[in-house]
Chains A and B, each alone.
Chain A
């Protein structure tokens, strides 16, 4: 009789600078399914992991912002392709975290389509949001968008994959790099999504994904001086206050995304504009 094969369980790790380290703190938390059975031990990311991730994001930012809009679009499309190829795996993981077959399929499909949606916008949002301004002197006056830089993202808790992608895709489509804290209760898909990113020509450091406790990490996501914008999803009033006060130190952009319907509402280019800076140039006429 052939012996039963021993299952190879996957180690869910964090994603920093194009690598999959364990948390530097050595801490973990246990993820259980509805019946209390252990699904996985997740890295409980620390503030130092976050610090390392910001360093990686900062190093990657200049290069990513310089990448042409077309290439950024192609890379986003590539992420969608890779995700499509792993569709079954993601559906299985979502089900493991409590979703029904149908809901899981819908979420994965929406996620793939959302990536393609923002891939299409990379070479178009500039035209939509930029302007030639009328001024009363002999100048041409242009306002154009530039990425704000490093964006920290506290992803929504209730959706494992779609909420993450709906926040990450518009940020990187606009040339930003980001550090994301995955859903605390459903972190599996975020780690698998990091593997998809890793296989999609996304340069290391452009997207960094941590798992861990939101209550512990929020203040660092908001206060780090080298972060230019912070996006928080579904934060209480107290969280909103903490984030805004701490973000004021270096006048970060604070973007609150509360009770967003990620399946529909979030499919618009204004999410790209949220993490862009407007630069206005005065150019003398006739010189």
Chain B
């Protein structure tokens, strides 16, 4: 698809109007979120909510159909020893693994997310990226996680990045589009804010921090900046955008801090898997171990939980 076919109704906003981010203020605010004490029954509810928000992820060069089936099995049976657990929101795999995941998840209400657009670097032509996206959607992906062209963005070619997202959004069809900003490569929170605004105006259903392949991945500072961008976008346009921090969130404690931040920035409306996700691979087991600790009173061991 040529860029000229981009819908005229979607317009690149004036990014010079994007407010700059007070980094010291963000640090202070984040420190506050981490001082909240969530205990007992509220903790259990938070942990269950976290489970339901997880995009169980495997994005390795070494992924095999067996590994993906194992991941799907984990998504369906988180920990059968504990009845009444929610299931995860989605599994997240490479496009070539989507059909495997679809088969394994048949009959279950779990979404299939696929990364696309030359993940993780995004260094390819638009045509290749669109083909990648269409292939994943055709194979059964209900959510597409695309990466933006960071090189173009950093070079100031916002128009290119914008048009690319619009084109991928169109290629997605009915599938939800999550736009990965790869904040670890953007440098400053100002850039993160600018990229968030750009992505939301271009039609992102979700904005996502990272691929998980670059350090630092998701941080609370970056996530807060993005949440604030979502809040302001909602005020301006009335349109809700979802948020997905991904990479480096591996403990329940940290995940609860993220929930606190979500609640105090965007409020209850966003506190569902429909609007907030965690991209993580090892978080689920830590949450399960915490839930088990809450119910038995005894500290748990990874030895007794299935691998994902």
List residues of A whose CB falls within 8 A of some B CB. 51, 54, 220, 223-226, 246, 249-250
10 contacts between A and B (CB under 8 A): A220-B299, A224-B299, A225-B298, A225-B301, A225-B303, A226-B300, A226-B302, A246-B298, A250-B301, A250-B303
**B299 adjacent to A223 (CB under 8 Å):** yes
**Complex Cα spacing A54 to B293, Å:** 15
Q: What is the CB-to-nearest-CB distance from A74 to chain B, in angstroms, rounded to a whole number?
A: 31
User: Which residues of chain B in 288-308 are interfacial with respect to chain A, using CB atoms and an 8 Å cutoff?
Assistant: 298-304
Q: How large is the interface on B (under 10, 10 to 19, 20 to 34, 35 or more residues)?
A: under 10
Q: Is B299 in contact with A54, judged by CB distance below 8 angstroms?
A: yes
Q: State whether B301 touches A51 (Cβ < 8 A).
A: no
Q: Which B residues are in CB contact (< 8 Å) with A246?
A: 298
Closest to A250 in B: B301
B304 (CB) vs chain A CBs: closest residue: A225
Given contacts A224-B299, A225-B298, A226-B299, 7 further A-B contacts (CB under 8 A): A224-B301, A225-B300, A225-B301, A225-B303, A225-B304, A226-B301, A246-B298
Q: With A and B bound together, what is the CA distance between A51 and B293 in angstroms? A: 12
Q: Chain B residues with Cβ under 8 A from A250's Cβ?
A: 301, 303-304
Q: Please give, as numbers and ranges, the residues of chain B lying within 8 Å of A51 by CB-CB distance.
A: 299
Once the chains are docked, how many angstroms separate the CA of A225 from the CA of B299?
Answer: 6
The interface residues of chain B lying within 8 Å CB-to-CB of A220 are 299
- Taking CB atoms, residues of chain A closer than 8 Å to B302 are 226
Q: Give the distance in Å from the alpha carbon of A249 to the alpha carbon of B304 in the complex.
A: 12
| Chain A residues with CB under 8 A of B298 | 223-225, 246, 249
Chain B window 43-64, contacts with chain A (Cβ cutoff 8 Å), 1 for yes, 0 for no: 0000000000000000000000
Bound-complex Cα distance A246 to B299 (A): 12
> Nearest CB to that of A249 among chain B residues?
B298
Inter-chain CA distance A126–B304, complex, in Å, is 29
Per CB-CB distance, the 3 closest pairs between chain A and chain B, nearest first, are A226-B301, A225-B301, A224-B299
Nearest CB of chain B from residue A47's CB, rounded to whole Å: 8
**Chain B contacts for A225, CB-based, 8 A:** 298-301, 303-304
Segment 136-160 of B: residues with Cβ below 8 Å from A: none
Q: How far is the CA of A226 from the CA of B303 in the complex (A)?
A: 8
Find residues 257-304 in chain B having any chain A CB closer than 8 Å to their own CB.
298-304
A222 nearest in chain B by CB position:
B298
Question: Chain B residues near A249 (CB, 8 Å)?
Answer: 298
In the bound assembly, the distance between CA atoms of A249 and B299 in angstroms comes to 11
Of A54, A225, A246, A250, the most chain B CB neighbours within 10 A belong to: A225
**A176 CA / B301 CA spacing, docked (Å):** 16
In Å, the complex CA distance between A246 and B298 comes to 9
